[in-house]
Structure 1
């Protein structure tokens, strides 16, 4: 908080930070913005990125996870899910919600309390939380709400230079688990999907209020099919026992963005 409050303005600060209530310490609250993605898609990208990296370099995954042994690196994701390996079960799957919930220890525990607190923080403290599956619309809203920072952002996003860089960050060897594994994963991530669906609905409501016409009809990402597949499960699957090992909160997909006007 001290660092952020003393940076010369204006600035945009992006970092992996669980929500901080600046006003509690009598410091002016920054403008919070964020983007989240479908929880299963986020998990899959992280699972394969930690093992095989992306197209920026053939060996960058070895640099990121040098201590990972081959039996872990080449662990079939279906085995990881169906045999309840720690990486594929709670609390590690409870990832997005804690960022919005905040600093309270209970924010790290999968449950209704953390989800409701995260929702409350979004309503009370975030200017905008978008979803990656509708990224172009997120950028249009940011340009509308914060033109000083995001003027002409869609032109930049669609530029050849951006896409050349973006194509290099695609996760290597990413593939879909079986439908059965997806259903199990969905049940384990029910709190993540509760929050994601809330954010999606709020985002659509914001677009409607502002009168934003979507930039594109079809998403370049994988929006709803994972949920639709998982929802074919009619009988609730048994809850898996939560592992004691804590989640590493330094991943790539839940940045907190703070914009200082």
Structure 2
């Protein structure tokens, strides 16, 4: 074959390849129409659903107005005191759920309250960990208390404990700051030592007031402002402890802390106090701490005076005059004062029913936890789960150092008090006793809401505290 013939053959072959490569394959006319119709249908479908979603969002925006919250009762503790007038601040998961349920909507993924950009004093809200685990025996809890209407609602609230949330005031705090306005002679030194240890574990600082010969329990308004300003400007998170009556931070339009405290049986507390201030080591310890500013060692007559004799002889240290404003030798007889507040006219009268009722209200509305070492394990469990940011691993830290904690500020003086004296004390401390029982009842309710500890895989000692070191030493401060 010649060269020209070979070239001609290759050109023809190339032409054939190009013909197949660039050939146009005609589509039936109906197929083109079908594709166009499908595209139009998809566009219309997306438009309709987008429009419906937009309508739902506008509907939600209208419903989330203050008037709706007022009608549903979602005010006060449910809405932050600083942002109560803002439309988009629902301050509790429980409140959000109840609102959405009342409007026929379901909240499957409610994780945190919304905040407007200019909302101040809420920067640490997320750290409070206020979602409490649903107890394992939640079906045994009262259905009315849990506000469940059907099994579907129970499934929606999986992992969220409404009963515990209703008793949890930690979520109402505005800052990561625990204020422990400790009552004397309730074991507060042990709790402070425990918090010091937990600070190293959970990443916070515990501080206390330096102390003085006389504690300032009641404070004028200006003094309160100065103390609050100092505490709120400290690095957070932190805990502060001081013998001082309850201070209402929001009264001064300042963020609310997390309030905690301890109480003790009023009879045992007075017995403990009587012998505590008659312990010779107490004055030696004070002299070592305060030097020339300390109190001189009292007479042997004072130090050796037993409570039975003191009460029987009507000694000023052992009198219990009802509604007395101030005992001239120093007033140690009541713990309601530390919860009633700074109103002297209302809170100072001894064994006052009004002061007791005010103290109850403050505990119920303001305090996250008011525990007692008389129920050690219950107190530690409630602290762990209602204030987890600060008290996570509290039981572990407590029992690892139980011997050290039980010796903090301990008075080894033997106290034998007659039943006659005890009966006289009970007769004169009726409202103090009622307040103490109220605080214990609330503590038990908080504990029961957690499922009596069974949800958390604890040992039996958690459920029977009195058999495992749950009773407070009478010598503890």
CA distance in 2, matches of 1:43, 1:146: 30
CA distance in 1, matches of 2:283, 2:340: 36
Match of 1:17 among 244, 254, 268: 244
In structure 2, the residue matched to 1:80 is: 310
SS of the equivalent of 2:407 reads helix
Q: SS in structure 1 opposite 2:368?
A: strand
After superposition, what is the alpha-carbon deviation per residue over 1:161-186, rounded to whole angstroms, capped at 9, x for unaligned? 44135235321213131110111111
Contact 1:32–1:125, Cα closer than 8 Å, also in 2: yes
Give the Cα–Cα distance (whole angstroms) in 2 for the partners of residues 61 and 174 of structure 1.
21
Report the Cα distance in structure 2 between the residues aligned to 1:62 and 1:93, rounded to whole angstroms. Answer: 21
The verdict on how the C-alpha distance between 1:137 and 1:50 changes in structure 2, with shifts beyond 3 A counting, is same
Q: How many Å separate the matches in 1 of 2:287 and 2:269?
A: 21
Give the conservation status (yes or no) of the 8 Å contact 2:245–2:342.
Answer: yes
1:60 corresponds to 2:285: yes
CA distance in 2 between counterparts of 1:89 and 1:205 reads 35
Q: Which residue of 2 aligns with 1:28?
A: 255
**Structure with bigger RCO (C-alpha 8 Å, 6+ apart):** 1
CA distance in 1, matches of 2:230, 2:306: 43
**Cα distance change on mapping 1:168 and 1:23 into 2, 3 Å:** closer
CA contact (8 A) 1:101 1:115 kept: yes
Cα distance between partner residues in 1 of 2:343 and 2:246: 10
Normalised by the size of structure 2, how large is the TM-score?
0.44
Compute the displacement of 1:80 (Å): 0.8
- The equivalent residue for 2:433 is 193
**Deviates further, 133-142 or 162-171:** 162-171
Q: In the alignment, does 2:275 pair up with 1:48?
A: yes
Q: Following TM superposition, where does structure 1 have runs of at least 4 consecutive aligned residues deviating by more than 6 angstroms?
A: 61-64
- The residue aligned with 1:206 is 446
- Name the CA distance, whole Å, in 1 between partners of 2:470 and 2:271: 13
- Structure 1 residues 3 and 205: CA distance shift in structure 2, 3 A: same
CA separation in 1, counterparts of 2:470 and 2:422? 18
168 and 11 in structure 1: CA distance in 2 versus 1, 3 angstrom threshold: closer
| Number of the residue aligned with 1:5 | 232
The alpha-carbon deviation at position 88 of structure 1 amounts to: 1.7
- Computing the radius of gyration from Cα coordinates, the structure with the larger value is 2
**Residues of 1 paired with 2:377 and 2:411: CA distance?**
21
Instruction: Report how many residues are paired.
Output: 223
Deviation, structure 1 residue 59: 4.3
Provide structure 1 residue ranges, at least 5 long, that are not aligned to the other structure. 224-251, 254-261
Is residue 181 of structure 1 aligned with residue 421 of structure 2?
yes
Shift, 1:107, TM fit: 0.6
Contact 2:377 2:470 in 1 (8 A): no
In 2: Cα distance, 1:33 partner to 1:133 partner: 16
Matched with 1:240 is none
TM-score scaled by length of structure 1: 0.77
Q: Distance in 1 between matches of 2:388 and 2:337?
A: 29
C-alpha distance 62-13 of structure 1, shift in aligned 2 (>3 A): closer
Residue 202 and residue 69 in structure 1: after superposition, are their counterparts in 2 closer, same or farther (change >3 A)? Answer: same
Report the more deviating stretch, 186-195 or 22-31.
186-195
Equivalent residues of 2:452, 2:463 under 8 A apart:
no
Which residue is 2:362 aligned to? 121
| Counterpart in the other structure of 2:86 | none
For residues 124-203 of structure 1, the aligned pairs below 5 Å read 124-159=365-400, 161-167=401-407, 169-203=409-443
Whole-angstrom CA distance in 2 between matches of 1:109 and 1:58? 29
CA separation of 1:156 and 1:194: change in aligned 2, threshold 3 A? same
Query: Aligned-pair distance for 1:129?
Result: 0.9
